[in-house]
Structure 1
Amino acid sequence: MATAMTTSRNSPNPVTRVLETVRAVDETGLEELQVAVDELQGGVKRLMADRELAEKRRQEEMDEIRRALSKLARDVEVRQGKQPRVETTMGLEPEVGEGPTSAAAVSRECGIGDNDYCGNIRVDGFDNRLS
């Protein structure tokens, strides 16, 4: 077995090294190797399940954040005396040409042009958070 291990380490081809190592293992070793392979496969399955669960949780958290932001945006619009925008499954759908984030509304509130920005207000779909 030691000779096979030495030969396998010196072999340039990784597949050959693995085959030589497997050939060097006796029957008991093969059973142990199979147990190790089974454990690794089980570990991979658990990791994949954990990953899927984590992705599902992340998506649920993102949906919750979107709903909270949507509600906050509606509350702000109501407090400003404006008609709230229509909510869709993807979040807020801005009304065409109006609303607190439209270029016209920003221009009125900030006294600036259509392509300029005012604080943390979104203009024409671009988020302009000043650094």
Structure 2
Amino acid sequence: MLMRVLCATALTASLSMAAFTANAPDDARITLVYDQPLPNVPGKSIRGVLVEYAPGGTSSAHVHPSSAFIYATVLAGAIRSQVNNGPVKTYREGESFSEFPGDRHRVSENASATEPARLLAVFVVDTQETILTRPIK
């Protein structure tokens, strides 16, 4: 059911994530699948971002806007992730992790060299934010 909703949202939205990233991730396909202001929280929006990794795909270390709360769920495959200086963890289909304002996402990659992986990152962020990912310098 979730995949049908995601696919339908992606088809109707047909939005490119290019405007929301300062530099595109190395081997990830990014699709904005949902963008809606929160009517009961003025100045905030909820955005759903589908991240798809080819086998062995990675993203560069990055940060998100200082206003962003992120809840990510692995939809397929397995994702290896490290937030701040925590341990590198592998999240499998159905598992989730969070990122909070100011967190540094040091590792984000497909845990498999042979199978693709997908995750849905749901952002609660200031509505005026136009760049959702910036590389760590």
Report the TM-score range of the alignment, normalised by the length of the smaller protein. Answer: under 0.3
Q: What TM-score, normalized by structure 2, do the two folds share?
A: 0.24
Larger radius of gyration: 1
Whose relative contact order is higher, 1 or 2, with alpha carbons under 8 Å and at least 6 apart? 2
Q: What TM-score, normalized by structure 1, do the two folds share?
A: 0.24
- Larger strand proportion of the pair: 2
